[in-house]
Amino acid sequence: MLRYLLSKLLTFLPTFFGVTLISFSFIRVLPGDPIIVMAGERGLSDERYQELLKQFGFDRPLMEQYFDYLSGVLQGDLGQSFVTKRPVWDEFFALFPATLELSLCAMIFALLLGLPAGIIAAVNRGKLFDRVLMSSALIGYSMPIFWWALLLIILMSGWLGLTPVSGRISLLYFFDDPTGFMIWDALQSEESGALGSALHHLILPTIVLGTIPLAVIARQTRSAMLEVLSEDYIRTAKAKGLAPFRINGIHALRNAMIPVITVIGLSVGTLLAGAILTETIFSWPGIGKWMVDSIFRRDYPVVQGGLLLIAVMVIIVNLSVDVLYGLINPKIRKR
């Protein structure tokens, strides 16, 4: 197991350095001068402009800037925001709980609906349930997040008036949020109705963000279940008269979970990418909205650090999934 784990960890290094290069290059290929953006309408004299170029190190060759950035990253220093003057680490972890809370709710939503949908579709292969569920999954996967979000806002908030459009909680509630997780902090507060308001504000963003993972999980579960249901031991279990729930929900599903776990691991990247659009549309104060605002402000350290931290989290999740494979199926460790 140790050898298997080390082999997986070795794949982390080239990926990590590749991400640092991409995160450094991404913001610099965008049009716009960060110093002029920071100056705004005030304008700058040529002398002051040159001083700021030197102060931020933009007067040096790009390779020197990259190696300085890489050196700081290896020492755990992601720099300070040009706008707020706060360390990128502090800003990221102050906003990350909001994104994590939304992503967890979206994943729970996707799993609670996606797994049963895939199982039902597989058991009823070729029937009406199968066609309806898989057609719905294909539509859900194909819909752009921003379009789906606007449709739900128009329907749920505009026509029906059932859900709020933006934010994490109503402005009527004021309490400390030490953890950054609004549901937990609202639960611990003495504000009556705060928890209900926090959950109410989660409904639309959760549905929007969880729709694509739901569709992928449903289709992958169906595919894996169909493959397992054709195995000899399943036919033997049916011949012995075992209950359908025991056959499908225990024996078949357990052996179909490896490809499904793969999809769940890959969906973390989808959730974090989708959170950028979702948080922007719903004014959700997480790292997605933070990243979009920083791109418009050409806040180089924030964009570089944010991209790097998001990529590292996705890499860690994927490595964890690989390790989980080895625990579930020992044969994989020997490959």
Which positions ≥6 away from 276 have C-beta within 8 Å? 288, 289, 291, 292
Q: What is the mean pLDDT of residues 97-104?
A: 90
Q: State pLDDT tens for residues 23-49.
A: 888 778 777 777 777 666 566 677 777
Give the angle 70-92-79 at the CA atoms, nearest 5°: 35
User: What pLDDT score does 108 carry?
Assistant: 92
Helix-strand-coil percent breakdown of the chain, rounded to 5?
A: 75, 0, 25
The pTM (predicted TM-score) of the whole model is 0.81
Q: b vs e for 24-54, b when ≥16 Cβ sit within 10 Å of the residue's Cβ?
A: beebeeeeeebbeebeeeeeeeeeeeeebee
Q: How far apart are CA 42 and CA 38, in angstroms?
A: 9
Q: Of 147-151, 155-159, 324-328, which gets the smallest average pLDDT?
A: 324-328
The predicted model gives 85-94 an average pLDDT of 89
* Domain residue spans of the chain: 88-296
Domain 88-296 fold: MetI-like fold (1.10.3720)
Alpha helices in 11-87 (DSSP H): 12-28, 34-39, 46-56, 62-74
* Percent of the chain residues past pLDDT 70, beyond the cut: 89
Catalogue the E-assigned strands of the chain.
none
pLDDT band, very low/low/confident/very high, at 206 (cuts 50, 70, 90): very high
Answer left, alpha or beta for residue 314, where phi above 0 means left and psi between -120 and 50 means alpha: alpha
pLDDT at 237 > cutoff 80: no
Judge whether residue 322 has pLDDT over 80. Answer: no
Band of residue 297 on the pLDDT scale cut at 50, 70, 90: confident
Question: What is the predicted pLDDT for the residue at 41?
Answer: 57
